[in-house]
Amino acid sequence: MQPSVDLAIVGSIGIDTIETPTEKQEEILGGSVSYACAAASFYTHAGMVGVVGTDFPTEFRKIWENMSIDLEGLQTVEGKTFRWSGVYEENMDNRRTLSTDLNVFETFSPELPVAYRSAPYLFLGNIHPALQLHVLEQVHDPKFILIDTMDLWINIDKENLTQVIGKCHMLTLNESEAQLFTGEFTLNKAAKQLLELGPEYVLIKKGGNGSMLFTKDDIFLLHAYPLDDLKDPTGAGDTFAGGLMGALAASGKTDKEAIRQAMIHGSITASFGVEEFSLDRLKRLDRSELEARIGEFKEMCRIACADSEERM
């Protein structure tokens, strides 16, 4: 029997209130698993593992259904949905959390539907490392596991985090988180230390400055697509990772070349995501726009193919 989803994604679901230097939006759909599943949905059949409260708006659920995201792993629990509010500073690089109300997310225990347990691809979005470990106990040897995390877990539960990272194929984190985790300033040294925890790949995200994929043998450098405007960077990392995992699942592969290609897809999906708040841009994005920008982006990054390498 085929698994019902090719990619299972676990993470948070929130209702966000976000302020940027030019705009404020209240009570909009957010959360790592929402962004990641939306991005993955362009490429593969993704299943969502998360929790919402009984107050969760039907129209938000509709957005996911319209993107053909599998919601069998979505729990609805008596109470209020997780709320988060934050504000972005002038240059959009730094954000400050104004409030966090965990609500039903506080007692969330991710339980994978049977149909998700043999999904070949698994993305452990940013949640408590003990919960990420709990997910790993339920799955049947996925072909490829990506784990994301955040500064909070590095600060308060490095032990469990280290353990779960050791069980994954790829770790992704931000530049500053990589530095925090390792105490190293250069990303080369930070990545080297993180690779020693076990994963074959370490993917460091640098926001508008792109991303870097490290293995024991080499490095892959990817710029971010340069945008005319950026409205809301919330969820960009989750969209990137979700698009990456979706594209990788679609390829059926896990090798380095496939990951390079999947990173391009993730990066471009994220570039659309930040053009508007919440899933506003992604929900009306079509595959041909995505493909067109990917083609444009590849041309922007093209430095040389074999035959033109030795001009000097």
Rounded to whole angstroms, the maximal C-alpha distance in the chain is 68
Binding site for a copy of itself (CB under 8 A): 43, 91-92, 185-189, 206, 209-210, 212, 218-223, 226-230, 247, 250-251, 257-258, 260-261, 264-265, 295, 298-306, 308-309, 311-312
Query: Minimum Å distance from CB 303 to a copy of itself?
Result: 5
End-to-end CA distance of the chain, in Å? Answer: 57
Query: Minimum Å distance from CB 190 to a copy of itself?
Result: 11
- Give the residue with the Cβ less far from a copy of itself, 145 or 191: 191
- Give the residue with the Cβ less far from a copy of itself, 34 or 269: 269
Query: Minimum Å distance from CB 242 to a copy of itself?
Result: 15
- Give the residue with the Cβ less far from a copy of itself, 7 or 13: 7
Distance CA 153, CA 253 (A): 30
Query: Minimum Å distance from CB 79 to a copy of itself?
Result: 40
Residue 30, strand partner residues? 14
Query: Minimum Å distance from CB 137 to a copy of itself?
Result: 32
Three-state SS string over 130-187 comes to HHHHHHHCCCCCCCEEEEECCHHHHHHCHHHHHHHHCCCCEEEEEHHHHHHHHCCCCH
Cβ contacts of 273 within 8 Å, gap of 6 or more: 35, 38, 39, 235, 236, 239, 279, 281, 282
